[in-house]
Amino acid sequence: MFKKSVNDKTTYGIIGLGRFGMALTLELAKAEADIIALDRDEEKIREIAEYTENAFVVSGLDKKSLSETGIQNCDVAIVCIAEAMDTSILTTLNLVSLGIPTVMAKASSNEHGEILEKLGAQVIYPERDMAIRLANRLEASKLLDYVQLSEKLNISKLIVPKRMIGKTVLEDNLRQNFSVNIIAVENDGVLKEAVGPDYVFRKGDILFLSGAKEGLDRMTEWAE
Asked if the structure places residue 42 within a domain, the reply is yes
Residues 99 and 36 in one domain: yes
A 10 A CB-CB count for 216 gives 24
Residues 34 and 70 in one domain: yes
Residues 105 and 45 in one domain: yes
Tell me if 180 sits within 8 A of 152, measured CB to CB: no
Its domain, for residue 196, covers 129-223
Asked if the structure places residue 69 within a domain, the reply is yes
Residue where one domain finishes, among candidates 124, 151, 184: 124
Residues 47 and 144 in one domain: no
Query: What's the chain's average pLDDT?
Result: 85
Tell me if 39 sits within 8 A of 59, measured CB to CB: no
Q: What is the pTM of this model?
A: 0.59
Residues 26 and 101 in one domain: yes
Residues 178 and 164 in one domain: yes
C-alpha angle with apex 33: 28 to 34, nearest 5 degrees?
120
- E strand segments, 102-175: 102-106, 122-124, 143-148, 154-159
pLDDT of residue 99: 95
Asked if the structure places residue 1 within a domain, the reply is no
A 10 A CB-CB count for 179 gives 15
pLDDT of residue 43: 94
pLDDT of residue 131: 65
Residue where one domain finishes, among candidates 89, 124, 159: 124
Instruction: Say if residue 7's pLDDT is above 90.
Output: no
Confidence of residue 181 (pLDDT cuts 50, 70, 90): confident
Residues 18 and 84 in one domain: yes
Residues 111 and 157 in one domain: no
Confidence of residue 96 (pLDDT cuts 50, 70, 90): very high
Asked if the structure places residue 58 within a domain, the reply is yes
CATH of the domain at 60: 3.40.50.720
Asked if the structure places residue 111 within a domain, the reply is yes
Residues 147 and 104 in one domain: no
